[in-house]
A and B are shown apart, each in its own frame.
Chain A
């Protein structure tokens, strides 16, 4: 069976949203708000003035809301013979008559006036206090006559007792008989005074609350009140909604409040989501040939080749696809959704199907496949922004104002610092790493910049180790990608190896959303069920690491599979008495359970998962994974986000709005940022990470300064060009010298050269990418030379910025490679972007662009060049056209650097010669 959209019925960010929030500014303190009591309104407003003349509630009541009211058909006599007034459909203001709803054509259709009508003020004059306010849920009314018009009400006190009541000014206050009673009428104290409600009755929000609220102007109030006339549910966000063709509002450095922040980012996320959906759903493929198989878990697996064109996104494990068969004479039409569990080297996709029944396994041809797009990650970003705005507890006040770019007085975190800053199981920290750990532990917000190979992950792991030791609750560790999460999780688990063996360092990695889990979350867990298992496991196993993953990834094998929660759940409780275990075995044997057993199984599993999660010290997941409903009830004071410069701001916000008080953003804004597919959104600034904006706001990142990756000759140019020359070498020339490798480096001890290429670029078959045949041919020659000299395929990486060239090189090598085909197949050829965060011993960079007049496209981005140049440990070869590249200042600098070191060469590989090619003058640097 197919379960529908995973997020059905679940509203993100609802957690912090209060119905009684002031509709202008969002203040939620029950003592500060009142509800407008008109049945058609019922909106809440607070008693703060903000930047306007009166308090928000008085503003609302005072809004000049003139409504046309139909006074009915004067010719229609009622039963009493009097002319009756029919009830107007336009407004429920007072209309005499028979109460029948009557279409008011004169107002709605614009046709002939149906009857008489006049304009009256809408009656927003009654209010009700909140049930949690000091007086409780109370409609304000005259104690004597029950009049509810707040403009007439005021307090009087009794003469001899400490008792007060509300009394209307007209007529009750002027009734003579009252004067003789026990009431003091000389001091009638109006309810609305100085354009505010009496502050002792409806409190004015504190300064803190007001600062954190939405800053609304009188103009915005007028606009939203106008909007409410036609759409009572309209929000202030609706005011900002751009039209379809409008260029979205660009991001800025500082935001007045989280609502403005949301107003800027929400449309950008929407644009990106729409684009992503359009892209993915257009990837339908027909006429596929299927090879059927059955997985170890008895689930049906379909293998097929998914033809890939160069403008398309790559499939990754976990992606959801729908497989379809349109039916024939013998087989009915069939379809099923499944998850990609792996991609074979032959670019074959393995799809594990959800449904095992009715699969036409005797058919192999004529299948179609579509991408099943999910809005989950985008929904979570929107949800996080909403939470950030409406939930005051989502992040600490300090972090709230800091993130919005407000100037905040520096705060230190009062924590006892550890004696040494390294962590067990990790390499000794260098001076800049120690400095980073030490400063981070003392500050509520810090940025760590980790240039390539500087031990970012180790530093992060050490920070997490010390944070976890502080006992402030669970530490949340995130990164935008699963790969980065896995890497960091492994390092953190290494520190756990030498932790106190009794205490468990459990980590959970969550990623995609799992609807089933969410539903089960409602079920009251039988919390005792796995206690024993946890203890036993803790005592026995050295690393207590759990990876909790969504269904889609549960079947995907991961390098840290033993860390996953679903693995642990399965292996946790082996005692025969465990019902969960019994059911698990049954399920494994039969492939499925009866519906009642299945229900029981899921509830037990859920309980177990929760038990394990709650006993964890550290929780690891992707940024989007932090929005998993399974974490909804968790609070994290300390959050570390690795590779944060590769996440968009709203993505970064997801892990932060779970109550953060101390945040560490790790990344490098001098390397590639988040990938934004929608150009409009990218232009508006969605590609700028939070890390980067904080840097622009003046937050100084702590830079790790010693690199342990590159041969010193390779790090020189990147250090000077991207890191002001601060990058020191933690490896020596000797440590990066490979004996026995015979490669024609032009200068000994400088394993690098720029290989001058003059071949023309071409547009690829798809028309959307480029390739360069000469460069591709020379890449093959270089690869062959490396392989012949004793380098193994896994040591070599070929980088090229263009998908067209990537595909061409792969193809070319496998057809024309001088050595065994298999060797070439094992060589990774990929884009700069997909090499970020990784390294290879030898890198061959094919620049592709070679034209007379056009630009150099992708190569223009200095951050992309930085990443490309810093992947190699032992050596690098760059292939490109210096005449074209030298127009760009940074490339000009690179070419000059290579030339000065006699590493700019041309000619056949076995006879490389210094190139005398003339560079072009670089265009002016705008700065």
Chain B
């Protein structure tokens, strides 16, 4: 509940060699994962990606009164501890499956995230048309 100003030299530089090693490992993990899936036959893959009706019908405004992605409304994020004042977010619904049931949950995305940026570009393009 209170702010404490701590003066401490905590920033220890990450060893560049360690960082490079870390990246190598991570990339090999990604590649390994990709390779393992590429071997799987694609033909048998069924598509199950329909957006359930009730998601878009559901409340378009969340508790904070922030509007959905397509509205493009920009609101200040005030609840994130006050430190991130000025950060801008939009609300989206994340679809997840639990068993066969689809569910959706509200989440906030920063405006500068690639998902939001591409949506904006798409919108702009549509408007031009």
Binding site for B on A (CB under 8 A): 51-54, 58-59, 61-62, 64, 121, 125, 134-136, 138, 141, 143-147, 149, 151-152, 155-166, 168-172, 174-175, 177-178, 181-184, 186-187, 189, 192, 195, 198, 200-201, 206-208, 211, 215, 217-218, 396-398, 400-401, 406-409, 411
Contacts and interface: CB of A to CB of B under 8 A. Distances in A.
Contacts of B107: 134-135, 164, 200-201
18 contacts: A52-B22, A53-B18, A62-B29, A121-B29, A143-B49, A143-B97, A144-B45, A146-B97, A151-B29, A161-B56, A161-B69, A163-B92, A163-B104, A164-B93, A170-B33, A206-B81, A215-B10, A401-B4
B118 A184 contact: yes
B2 A157 contact: no
Given A147-B37, A152-B37, A162-B69, A195 B119 contact: no
A144 B14 contact: no
A171 B37 contact: yes
Contacts of B106: 134
A57 B63 CA distance: 30
Contact of A408 (B5, B18, B48, B50): B5
Interface of B: 2-8, 10-12, 14-15, 18-19, 22-23, 25-26, 29-30, 32-34, 37-38, 40, 42, 45, 47-51, 55-56, 68-70, 81, 83, 89-97, 104-110, 113-115, 117-119, 122
A163 B29 CA distance: 29
B87 to A, nearest CB: 11
Contacts of A152: 30, 33-34, 37
B129 to A, nearest CB: 14
A548 B22 CA distance: 57
A616 to B, nearest CB: 24
B22 A54 contact: yes
Contacts of B23: 53, 195
Given A51-B12, A157-B119, A207-B83, A149 B49 contact: no
B114 A187 contact: yes
A171 B42 contact: yes
Given A164-B95, A407-B8, A408-B4, A62 B22 contact: yes
Nearest to A157: B115
A595 B104 CA distance: 56
Nearest to B106: A134
A201 B4 CA distance: 27
A62 B23 CA distance: 9
Nearest to A396: B2
A209 to B, nearest CB: 10
Nearest to A177: B47
B4 A398 contact: yes
Contacts of A125: 29, 33
Contact of B38 (A62, A155, A170): A170
B75 to A, nearest CB: 14
Contacts, number: 189
Nearest to A186: B118
Given A62-B22, A152-B33, A157-B119, A183 B49 contact: yes
A277 B14 CA distance: 45
A152 B38 CA distance: 11
A189 B33 CA distance: 17
B26 A195 contact: yes
Contact of B30 (A143, A151, A398): A151
A149 B119 contact: no
A81 B98 CA distance: 39
B90 to A, nearest CB: 7
Contact of A161 (B6, B51, B90, B109): B51
Given A161-B56, A408-B4, A200 B104 contact: no
A474 to B, nearest CB: 19
Contact of B10 (A138, A166, A184, A211): A211
A162 B93 contact: yes
A148 B55 CA distance: 24
B42 A175 contact: yes
Contacts of A408: 4-7
A52 B114 contact: no
B95 A143 contact: yes
A151 B18 contact: no
Contacts of B91: 162
Contacts of A54: 22, 26
A157 B4 contact: no
Contacts of A187: 114-115, 117-119
Given A61-B29, A200-B108, 11 more contacts: A53-B18, A152-B30, A159-B122, A161-B51, A162-B92, A163-B93, A165-B95, A187-B117, A208-B4, A398-B2, A409-B7
A189 B114 contact: yes
Q: Report, nearest first, the 4 A-B pairs whose CB atoms are least far apart.
A: A162-B69, A187-B118, A409-B5, A397-B4
A178 B70 CA distance: 21
Contacts of A64: 25
A145 B19 CA distance: 33
Chain B CB count within 10 A is highest, among A52, A183, A396, for A52
Contact of A53 (B22, B81, B114): B22
Most buried by A among B29, B50, B104, B110: B29
A211 B70 CA distance: 38
Nearest to A175: B45
B70 A157 contact: no
B105 A134 contact: yes
A318 B42 CA distance: 77
A187 B30 CA distance: 18
A615 to B, nearest CB: 26
B128 to A, nearest CB: 16
Contacts of A58: 26
Given A170-B38, A200-B108, A195 B2 contact: no
Nearest to A200: B109
Contacts of A397: 2-4
Contacts of A51: 10-12, 14
A156 B5 CA distance: 40
A132 to B, nearest CB: 13
Contacts of B104: 163
B81 to A, nearest CB: 6
Contacts of B33: 125, 149, 151-152, 170
Contacts of B34: 152, 169-170
B50 to A, nearest CB: 8
A22 to B, nearest CB: 17
A53 B14 contact: yes
A172 B46 CA distance: 9
Contacts of B22: 52-54, 59, 62, 195
A171 B95 contact: no
A201 B107 CA distance: 8
Nearest to B117: A187
Nearest to A134: B107
Nearest to B13: A51
Contacts of B14: 51-53, 218
B26 A211 contact: no
A186 B115 CA distance: 10
A218 B21 CA distance: 12
Nearest to A165: B95
A144 B105 contact: no
A126 to B, nearest CB: 12
Nearest to B22: A53
A324 to B, nearest CB: 55
Given A135-B94, A147-B37, A187-B114, A158 B4 contact: no
Contacts of A201: 107
A147 B48 CA distance: 13
Given A136-B105, A152-B34, A398-B2, A200 B93 contact: no
A401 B2 CA distance: 13
B51 A163 contact: yes
A218 B18 contact: yes
A240 B97 CA distance: 44
B124 to A, nearest CB: 14
A477 B108 CA distance: 47
A168 B37 contact: yes
